[in-house]
Chain A
Amino acid sequence: MSTGKSDVLQGTLDLMVLRTLESMGPQHGFGLAKRIQQISEGALELNQGTLYPALLRLEQKGWIASEWGTSDANRRAKFYKLTPAGRRQVTRESCDWERTVALMARFLRPAE
């Protein structure tokens, strides 16, 4: 990863979206994309458009739900929000991630 940027694994993007919706509440697609880029501080090679198939997948799994509404700038937009099942999914996957990260960290720690 010489460029310092990373491709996104599908599963990770899902979790990122869910986690963002959990912390920010209902969001439209553009808001989500911006927020994810902000948090990753440009470390993520993400075409914003990739977000939409991911949103559909999450909706099909019943983790998020969508609805047309009006944005702050009084513009029509489709808003996504977390469902109860999605909330449980965030908790579960966060735990998984933490465990994975902790495990990997143990392997990558310089030998003592």
Chain B
Amino acid sequence: MSMLGKRVAALFRKRRLDGELQEEISIHLAMQEEEFRARGMSAAEARLRAQREFGGVTQIVEAYRERRGVAWVENTLKDLRYAVRGLARNPGFTAAAVLSLALGIGANTAIFSLVRNLMLRMLPVTRPQELVYLYRTGGWGRGFMSYPLYLDMAKRADIFEGAAARSGIWRSRFSRPESAGVEFAQTEYVSGNYFGLLGVKPAIGRLIGESDNLTPKGHPLAVLSYEFWRNRFSGDAAVLGATVVVDGQPLTVIGVAAQGFRGVEVEHHPDLWVPCMMYDGRIMNPGMNWVWALGRRHPGVSRERIQSVVDAVMQQHLTERYGKNNDADFRKSAFGQRLEVYGADAGISSLRFLFGKPLLVLMAVVGLVLMAACANLANLLLARGAARYREIALRFSLGATRARLVRQALTESLLLSLLGSGLGMGFAVWGQQAILGFLPSKTIDPFALAPDGPVLAFAVGISVLAAVLFGLAPAWRSTAVDPAAGLRGDGGRTTGRPVLRRALVVVQVALSVVLVSLAGLFGASLDRLRAVDVGFRNQNVLAFKLDCPAKWGHAQRQQVLDGFVDRVSRLPGVASVSYGFPGPFEMGRASASIRVPGSAATAAKSAEVASATVAPRYFETVGTRLLAGREFDAKDTKTSSSVAIVDEAFVRRFFPGVSAPIGRALSFDDSKPEGGERTFIVGVVQDIRHAGLREPSKPTVYSPVAQPQAMGGPSVLVDAQAPPAAVAQALRREMAKLSGEVVLTEPETIARHIDDSIFQERILAMLGGFFGVLALLLAAVGLYGVVAYGTAQRAREIGVRIALGARRSGVLWMVLRDALLLVSAGLVVGLPLAIAAARAVRAVLDGLPPAGLTMFASTGMVLLAVGTVAALAPARRAARMDPMATLRQE
């Protein structure tokens, strides 16, 4: 074993080493004793004499131990000082090394921190690994299920110790007796066994129990979260028994949940829990999907077994509820539903479904980036090792061992790496913030970004790994020195090409090829979505909703809405204002079943179309082209004739071949083939992408607000010239003048809504592009270093060539050719890897375009271009060389 190894091992094997010393001492004493006996002493006398000659054993062992420890610390400090001095002497090298490492480590830490928060953090509950949740798929929304379905599942005691239900986490109006103005709180409705199932204890008071969730509207209770209690009630125990009003319902606070328990969802956290029975709606309606089921499985029951039982229960449930339904289409969509069983140990997360896979792809990408940074650093260290050749030879001849020098070099690598990870933590916090900024604001509560234990451990772990990765080979290589030859001058310098450095450049190029082509793939995917015509041009239009008190009726809401629209339209700088349900980016939420008289498409049975309700000037405001006819106006009232505007998809489906079916009719009464009361088409607008940019437009019917088919909380749309923040402020001011009880939700531009709908693609394209460029930069630095070193080494040869009449352009080409050879080798290695990587990524992520030959070809061209640029400076230097000066120098 090497000396270095011995010292490192000594730290961990104290006991064994002590044993070894003890053994050595007893052998020593035995030998001495034997000798004395051979001289004729008695056994007892010999032992005594031997001990006296040896001296105090304990003192010796102590001195030995101390020496062992001290040397370690001493040497480490010496190495550190040496490393610090060395790095301070080369600030350029140090800065480049620390920066490239910081980017690599920072990127890895940022992504890992997201992965940890989204997928790995265990719920702070009893035995979280036993928890599963059921995720509904196959139509009528995702995730949520109906309360009766949950009850059917909860009955299965053969697989579940128990199953609890919880709603989503919803923003509610919240008030206390002493509060003024409108406050909001995040509310979660839970079944009676929720806290018991999770094993959550109260901090004070009691939690919701089985007997608190028996009869609808019969349990006006609430439990507060610890943080909410701390922040809104200053942790006052007098809150027990107090009344709070949540969405108009007075509730009595019975307790506060234990500190640290923030619900079972990863990205949203409730402020208070209310029994399911208090939910304002028909709880037992099997068509209303509003709860998640959370089960604790019996130990030993596999996920597969649970899935098969759940499937059976689901089939039975569907047959009972929908088996006799006459509508084949309806039956088909009902029976298309399925419940998928997932582990809930790390909590429930909708964001995980949307963002989990892209995040894992990113984790792989940043891993490659770190490898590229390490390869680059190994290259820089090798270059420096070569430059320090004489110093190392000198230290060898002064008695340093190779192990000692390797250890010193590794100390330096470690120091670089830790400096890099220190700076990298900064990048990580910033980078994570940037990534979170890309997430739709509704998908995640702001969460603390301070890196916690596991994340710090990860950062330190990868920096040590990196230090070994990039440090070991250069340390070994640069200490392979023949001291005698080294001191003689240039004689000891390795002749020929620096094989290791060239190999590293090839690796760097190969990694860049992979990263650049992935970036190209992500970019192409985003471009494809960006090229889609969403159907409205005014993307700076601000959209928001009005949050009215729960008890308000339609008339009261409409009155405030009308008053508000009237006020806003008179504000200076506001071009137009309108509103509609559900709003341009949430279309497809409402649907209607219609008949179109004369159309073959509805002759046999009714057709399902998307429906929307829009106010006058709606299409003008969002910038949707009116292709024929007119928009709704003030003359379309409850008593005037029933009218509609349709989109192109509607015309294509129901009036094929007709360009503008103005005056034609449709009917919302779908009971007869020819429909009932007629609604006349007064306009045709261009298609609007309803369900995101990837889905084609559905046939859509727009109705005027005075004749609504379905109307929920409308989106208000304001087209104004001023910056969004200023407009939002003005809007809030207007609302305050009108009513103190109505609150605007955060106004956001339609552009932001569109961005939100493709946030995965945007994040991948942005980070992929950033890392692709970074890898290119690192490869260029590596290539430049190797080429510059190569030409410096061959200076004499090149000088001779020029002296003998070689043409400058020939020299230039000679150097360039060498660089391009390295790039080509990198391409040969990298392109198959890139093709494999693209294939792997496409298998994981949906909706990526195929990676065509042109993409890989252009990646190759980019790398050749970068290689040429990187090699050009040293090549031109070589070509401009003065042969006399070079030869004289030798």
* Chain A residues within 8 Å of B, Cβ to Cβ: 28-30, 33-34, 47-50, 52-53, 56-57, 59-63, 71, 73, 75-78, 83, 85, 88-89, 92
**A62 adjacent to B55 (CB under 8 Å):** no
**B28 adjacent to A29 (CB under 8 Å):** yes
Report how far A62 CA is from B405 CA in the complex, Å: 12
Using Cβ atoms and an 8 Å threshold, which residues of chain A touch B28?
A: 28-30, 33, 48
* Chain B residues within 8 Å of A, Cβ to Cβ: 3, 7, 20-21, 23-25, 27-28, 30-32, 34-35, 53-57, 59-60, 63-64, 67-68, 71, 75, 397, 399-401, 403-404
Contact of B60 among A50, A59, A73 (CB under 8 A): A50
Report how far A71 CA is from B32 CA in the complex, Å: 13
**A48 adjacent to B55 (CB under 8 Å):** yes
Closest to B55 in A: A47
Closest to B64 in A: A53
> Given known contacts A61-B399, A85-B401, what 9 new A-B pairs fall within 8 Å (CB)?
A29-B24, A30-B32, A49-B60, A56-B71, A62-B404, A75-B27, A77-B24, A85-B399, A88-B399
Contact of B403 among A33, A62, A88 (CB under 8 A): A62
Closest to A31 in B: B31
Report how far A38 CA is from B442 CA in the complex, Å: 88
Using Cβ atoms and an 8 Å threshold, which residues of chain A touch B25?
A: 49, 52
Using Cβ atoms and an 8 Å threshold, which residues of chain A touch B53?
A: 47-48
**A50 adjacent to B55 (CB under 8 Å):** yes
**A75 adjacent to B55 (CB under 8 Å):** no
Report how far A50 CA is from B20 CA in the complex, Å: 16
Report how far A78 CA is from B28 CA in the complex, Å: 10
**B27 adjacent to A76 (CB under 8 Å):** yes
**A62 adjacent to B54 (CB under 8 Å):** no
Report how far A72 CA is from B116 CA in the complex, Å: 63
Closest to B397 in A: A88
- Distance between B327 CB and nearest chain A CB, rounded to angstroms: 87
Max chain B C-beta neighbours (<10 A), residue from A71, A83, A85, A89: A85
Using Cβ atoms and an 8 Å threshold, which residues of chain B touch A53?
A: 60, 63-64, 67
Report how far A57 CA is from B70 CA in the complex, Å: 10
Interface SS of chain B: helix
A-B pairs with beta carbons under 8 Å apart, 13 shown: A28-B27, A30-B32, A48-B28, A52-B64, A56-B67, A60-B3, A60-B71, A62-B403, A73-B31, A75-B31, A76-B23, A76-B27, A85-B399
Using Cβ atoms and an 8 Å threshold, which residues of chain A touch B60?
A: 47, 49-50, 52-53
Using Cβ atoms and an 8 Å threshold, which residues of chain B touch A63?
A: 399
Closest to B59 in A: A49
Using Cβ atoms and an 8 Å threshold, which residues of chain A touch B34?
A: 73
Closest to B68 in A: A56
Using Cβ atoms and an 8 Å threshold, which residues of chain A touch B7?
A: 60
Closest to A63 in B: B399
A56-B64, A76-B27, A77-B27 known; A49 vs B400 contact (CB < 8 Å): no
**B24 adjacent to A62 (CB under 8 Å):** no
Closest to A76 in B: B27
**B32 adjacent to A48 (CB under 8 Å):** yes
**B67 adjacent to A62 (CB under 8 Å):** no
- Distance between B562 CB and nearest chain A CB, rounded to angstroms: 89
Interface SS of chain A: helix
Report how far A56 CA is from B3 CA in the complex, Å: 12
Using Cβ atoms and an 8 Å threshold, which residues of chain B touch A71?
A: 31
Using Cβ atoms and an 8 Å threshold, which residues of chain A touch B27?
A: 28-30, 75-78
Closest to A33 in B: B28
Report how far A34 CA is from B53 CA in the complex, Å: 11
- Distance between A31 CB and nearest chain B CB, rounded to angstroms: 8
Max chain A C-beta neighbours (<10 A), residue from B21, B25, B54, B400: B54
Max chain A C-beta neighbours (<10 A), residue from B3, B20, B57: B3
- Distance between B32 CB and nearest chain A CB, rounded to angstroms: 6
Using Cβ atoms and an 8 Å threshold, which residues of chain B touch A92?
A: 399
**B399 adjacent to A89 (CB under 8 Å):** yes
Contact of A62 among B30, B64, B401 (CB under 8 A): B401
- Distance between A50 CB and nearest chain B CB, rounded to angstroms: 7
Report how far A23 CA is from B60 CA in the complex, Å: 26
Using Cβ atoms and an 8 Å threshold, which residues of chain A touch B403?
A: 62
- Distance between B806 CB and nearest chain A CB, rounded to angstroms: 46
Contact of A52 among B21, B35, B71, B404 (CB under 8 A): B21
Contact of B30 among A47, A50, A75 (CB under 8 A): A75
Report how far A86 CA is from B53 CA in the complex, Å: 28
**A47 adjacent to B54 (CB under 8 Å):** yes
- Distance between B741 CB and nearest chain A CB, rounded to angstroms: 80
Closest to B402 in A: A62
Closest to A92 in B: B399
Contact of A49 among B20, B31, B56 (CB under 8 A): B56
Using Cβ atoms and an 8 Å threshold, which residues of chain B touch A50?
A: 55, 60, 63
- Distance between B362 CB and nearest chain A CB, rounded to angstroms: 47
Give me the 4 closest cross-chain CB pairs, A-B, nearest first.
A47-B55, A62-B401, A49-B60, A49-B55
Using Cβ atoms and an 8 Å threshold, which residues of chain A touch B75?
A: 60
- Distance between A63 CB and nearest chain B CB, rounded to angstroms: 7
**A57 adjacent to B67 (CB under 8 Å):** yes
Using Cβ atoms and an 8 Å threshold, which residues of chain B touch A29?
A: 24, 27-28
Using Cβ atoms and an 8 Å threshold, which residues of chain B touch A57?
A: 67, 71
Report how far A86 CA is from B68 CA in the complex, Å: 19
Max chain A C-beta neighbours (<10 A), residue from B24, B35, B53, B68: B24
Using Cβ atoms and an 8 Å threshold, which residues of chain A touch B32?
A: 30, 48
